[in-house]
Amino acid sequence: MAAEEAGNGFNIHPMDQFVVKPLFGHGDILWYTPTNVTLWMGITVLVIIALLVLGTRGRAVVPSRSQSIAESIYVFVYKMLEDIAGKEGLKYFPYIFTLFIFILVANILGLIPGAFTTTSHIAVTAVMAMAVFTTVTLIGFYKNGVGFLGLFWISSAPLVLRPILALIEIISYFVRPISHSIRLAGNMMAGHAVIKVFAGFAGALGVFSIFPIVAIMAVYGLEMLVVCIQAYVFAILTCVYLNDALHPGGH
Amino acid sequence: MASETHAAVSEHYVGMPQLNFEWFPNQIFWLVVTLVAVFFILNRIAIPRIANVLAERHDTIQRDLEKAEELKQKAVEAEDAYNKALADARIAASQIVAETKAAIQKDLDKAIAKADAEISAKTAEGEVKIKEIRDNATKAVKVVATDTAVAIVDAVMPAASDAKAITAAVTTRLKG
């Protein structure tokens, strides 16, 4: 990157957008320092309030547009949870809904040019994934006791294969939080970095910058899709893990 | 490390910002704050409110459907009542027609009977009159015949003129 900078007009720094900066001054970033993370998470909260609280303040039987959006998201997550984890899973609806709406709104806000994408950071997604992993594991043991280990002992397989399958299942179980978090952060980071790289080309190509600009538009459209799908994937996997904890024999 | 980071921030960042562990506590802290805030907003306000609205809508639709079913039932009942009323009216109408017919027939019969009676009375009267006239005529004929016979007998055989005998003879002749 430094070489490019020195060599010609290319000024491509796709990772700069992910840098955490203090909002005020240039001091150290301590755990409580208000940073751009704070700013964009705050905006996320405000957007969620605007959508789900202010948008539904009419409490109308025939909904307004904003209320209709809020209801659609609610019903979407509710049905997803009910379909995957059953009636018992509905108890955990507020948690799933919190994760889904936070990731969705943060992802979409990240697409605003110049915005900081909080969900592109592994620190953020890993905390959520670990929270899901820990909670789901605890629920599994709490609800089923030792029977939860039956999740790894596949009784439908031939007896000889079971120990091997158990090993594979245990490994895949512990890989879950890693894949869960890296999938989201990786998607966010990659898409934004690609856009930034094309933007760098656009700055250097003069009249031919039309090509990178068209490419940016295409990638941006794709990213619109990806941010929603990733929020959905995160939520649906959470539901699947929850279902495993509630019904470990349900293979 | 801190001074290096500052240099990187002021210039351009080298490597992946995602793996800068110095920022982790900050991100995690604010994430937890955010998630707790979002959770409370959703759990306290948004979810109950939306759930209420959805339940209310479901109830309203259910109620409306029931009402519609009820109204449909009522419409069917009304149609039945209408048909029944129509049938009743038909029966009543035919009854009235029959009654009227009977009454007319009765009046007619009475009138005919009356007319018949009058006609027979008149006939009887006429017959009486005719009889009277005939009697009178007969009497007159008898008188005329007797007178004529007396005159003839007087003229032909004045000796045999016997008024009584002639009268008896005429009477016998007239009867015959």
Q: Does B52 touch chain A (CB under 8 A)?
A: yes
Start-end of H helices in A90-209: 93-110, 122-144, 162-204
Q: Does A104 touch chain B (CB under 8 A)?
A: no
Instruction: Give the closest of B13, B24, B49 to A59, CB-based.
Output: B49
**Are A96 and A81 spatial neighbours (Cβ–Cβ below 8 Å)?**
yes
Instruction: Give the closest of A20, A32, A70 to B23, CB-based.
Output: A20
Angle among Cα B61, B64, B70 to the nearest 5 degrees reads 145
Q: Does A93 touch chain B (CB under 8 A)?
A: yes
For the record, the structure tokens of B114 come out as 């009356």
DSSP tag of B11: S
Q: How much is the pLDDT for A250?
A: 62
Could you tell me the sign of the dihedral formed by the alpha carbons of A213, A214, A215, A218, in that order?
positive
Higher pLDDT, B12 or B127: B127
Residues 6 or more apart in contact with residue B1 via CB below 8 angstroms: B22
Task: Indicate the helix (H) or strand (E) that contains A42.
Answer: helix A36-48
Query: Highest-confidence range of A117-126, A195-204, B6-15, by mean pLDDT?
Result: A117-126
**Are A15 and B17 spatial neighbours (Cβ–Cβ below 8 Å)?**
yes
Q: What is the mean pLDDT of residues B146-170?
A: 80
Q: Rounded distance, CA A199 to CA A192, Å? A: 10
Q: Does B57 touch chain A (CB under 8 A)?
A: yes
| pLDDT tier, B66 (very low <50, low <70, confident <90, very high otherwise) | very high
Please report how the helices A122-144 and A93-110 are oriented relative to each other, as an axis angle in degrees rounded to 10.
170
Q: Is B26's CB within 8 Å of A21's CB? A: no
Tell me the nearest-neighbour CA distance from B86 into chain A, angstroms.
44
pLDDT exceeds cutoff 50 at B139: yes
Task: Indicate the helix (H) or strand (E) that contains A88.
Answer: helix A65-89
Q: Is B30's CB within 8 Å of A35's CB? A: yes
Instruction: Give the closest of B17, B33, B56 to A19, CB-based.
Output: B17
Angle among Cα A71, B28, A227 to the nearest 5 degrees reads 40
Q: Rounded distance, CA A122 to CA A185, Å? A: 6
What tens digit of pLDDT does each residue of B84-129 get? 999 999 999 999 999 999 999 999 999 999 999 999 999 999 999 9
Longest dimension (CA), chain B: 205
DSSP string for residues in B38-95: HHHIIIIIIHHHHHHHHHHHHHHHHHHHHHHHHHHHHHHHHHHHHHHHHHHHHHHHHH
Q: Among A22-26, A131-135, A234-238, B53-57, which is the least confidently predicted range? A: A22-26
Q: Is B26's CB within 8 Å of A124's CB? A: no
Residues 6 or more apart in contact with residue A222 via CB below 8 angstroms: A191
Q: Does B28 touch chain A (CB under 8 A)?
A: yes
Tell me the nearest-neighbour CA distance from A207 into chain B, angstroms.
27
**Residue B80 phi, psi (nearest 5):** -60, -45
Q: Among A127-141, A153-167, B8-22, B146-160, which is the least confidently predicted range? A: B8-22
Task: Indicate the helix (H) or strand (E) that contains B172.
Answer: helix B163-175
pLDDT exceeds cutoff 70 at A153: yes
| pLDDT tier, B149 (very low <50, low <70, confident <90, very high otherwise) | confident
| pLDDT tier, B8 (very low <50, low <70, confident <90, very high otherwise) | very low
Size of interface A-B (CB pairs under 8 A): 144
Q: Which residue has the tokens 């003229």?
A: B155
Tell me the nearest-neighbour CA distance from A75 into chain B, angstroms.
9
| pLDDT tier, B10 (very low <50, low <70, confident <90, very high otherwise) | very low
**Are A55 and A69 spatial neighbours (Cβ–Cβ below 8 Å)?**
yes
Q: Rounded distance, CA A231 to CA A241, Å? A: 16
| pLDDT tier, B2 (very low <50, low <70, confident <90, very high otherwise) | very low
Q: Is A32's CB within 8 Å of B29's CB? A: yes
Chain A neighbors of B44, CB-CB under 8 A: none
Instruction: Give the closest of B17, B30, B47 to A41, CB-based.
Output: B30
Sorted by where each begins, the domain ranges of chain A are: 2-246
